Amino acid sequence: MNHELDPAAGTLPHENFRCGTVALAGRPNVGKSTLLNALIGYRLSIISPRPQTTRHRILGINTTEAGQIMYVDTPGLHRGAKRAMNRSLNRAARSAINDVDLVVQVIEAGRFTDEDEALYAALVEQSSPRLLVINKVDLNKDKTVMLPFVADLVAKHSYDEIHYVSALKEQGLKELEQAILKRLPVQPPVYGEDEVTDRSERFLAAEMVREQLMLRLDQELPYATTVEIEQFNDRPDGIAEIHAIIWVERDGQKAIVIGNGGAQLKAIGTSARRHMERMFERKVFLKLWVKVREGWVDDENMLKKFGYTD
Ligand SMILES: Nc1nc2c(ncn2[C@@H]2O[C@H](COP(=O)(O)OP(=O)(O)OP(=O)(O)O)[C@@H](O)[C@H]2O)c(=O)[nH]1
Ligand SMILES: [Mg+2]
């Protein structure tokens, strides 16, 4: 950028500088977090092939000469949520589509499910403009199959614009960014130009351990886990010492997370630490414990303790 950007000054860097908040909404696993990271050019939000990876609203900021876009990644909205934790994910996702300047509904190429339909119905209630992003277009080898799908979609739904993207291959993102920017208000920036999120390193450290749990544990086990950072201490030798507890629901789960001779826990710790060192730009000493708290997934008080309620 040519000029220093000072949010405290509260002035426009130039007369057409745009700034606003954009929610990335959609059902689980459509690629919202992958899209957030691609749009801000930073690996902020955790990603996995499993649904319900994201459990919090996560703000990701992208500042350019043209403006500042504050993206909000959200948990995937899903139906039939029975456990208290799942209801909390849906609450976080629903509240994120209120009070934003624009909503981007993300879907998967070729599929518009009942859950997509339910989200659309909620968006129509809002006054903010909405864009549709059809993600994962790289998976469709034959592009012509998209035509009847999209024709049917637009006959029944109204969006301000439709964009075809591949968040994974970073295709179609410049055009999407332009479409977003022009719908944001002209106003001064809220954050400094180097800021990428309002989340603390403590929060991000827990997320990086959780990402490894999502990637390495089978079946339902990741959904029985959460991560609590007990200590985050910058030592005089420049190393960040981080103590994290992996909470599970039952003793049997604890044994699986630890693995034979502690192998699984060691692998989780090594990968999470490497990611932390890259993100925090300093050496990390990570110590992990696995502890049992029966029924925490259904317990509103425990959810609050673990940071799942706003
Ligand atoms: N082929 C392909 N895969 C993608 C693309 N975008 C995301 N994915 C994959 O889709 C899976 C889910 O991606 P996420 O970004 O975690 O999806 P999400 O919508 O944030 O999911 P939740 O947080 O669970 O709601 C991962 O395996 C991604 O690598 C894409 O453009 N193309
Ligand atoms: Mg996500």
Verify that 37 and 173 share a domain, yes or no: yes
pTM, two decimals, is 0.96
Of 218, 207, 224, 232, give the one whose Cα is nearest residue 297: 224
Among 131, 147, 181, which residue terminates a domain?
181
* Ligand 1 binding pocket includes 48 (Cβ within 6 Å): yes
Mean pLDDT of 238-244: 98
* Ligand 1 binding pocket includes 166 (Cβ within 6 Å): yes
- SS3 at position 265: helix
pLDDT for residue 9: 83
Give the number of the ligand closest to the Cα of residue 77: 1
pLDDT for residue 248: 98
* Residue 3 domain flag: no
Read off the pLDDT of residues 47-61 as tens digits, 9 standing for 90 and up.
999 999 999 999 999
Of 251, 171, 269, give the one whose Cα is nearest residue 213: 269
Exposure string (b/e) for 7-43, b if CB count within 10 Å is 16 or more?
A: beeeeebeeebbbbbbbbbbbbbbbbbbbbbbbbeeb
pLDDT-derived band at 309 (thresholds 50, 70, 90) equals confident
* Residue 128 domain flag: yes
Residue 84, pLDDT > 70, answer yes
Mean pLDDT of 58-78: 97
Give the atom of ligand 1 at the shortest distance from the alpha carbon of 49: 27
* Ligand 1 binding pocket includes 130 (Cβ within 6 Å): no
Q: Tell me the C-alpha distance between 213 and 264, whole Å.
A: 10
Verify that 212 and 148 share a domain, yes or no: no
- pLDDT, mean over the chain: 95
pLDDT for residue 67: 97
Give the number of the ligand closest to the Cα of residue 45: 2
* Ligand 1 binding pocket includes 67 (Cβ within 6 Å): no
* Residue 106 domain flag: yes
- Interval between CA 53 and ligand 2 midpoint (Å): 5
Verify that 210 and 176 share a domain, yes or no: no
Question: How many distinct structural domains can be found in the chain?
Answer: 2
Verify that 57 and 119 share a domain, yes or no: yes
pLDDT for residue 3: 53
43 lies in which domain range?
18-181
Residues 6+ apart with CB under 8 A from 270: none
The CATH number of residue 205's host domain is: 3.30.300.20
* Ligand 1 binding pocket includes 210 (Cβ within 6 Å): no
Verify that 156 and 271 share a domain, yes or no: no
Verify that 49 and 147 share a domain, yes or no: yes
Read off the pLDDT of residues 277-308 as tens digits, 9 standing for 90 and up.
999 999 999 999 999 999 999 999 999 999 99
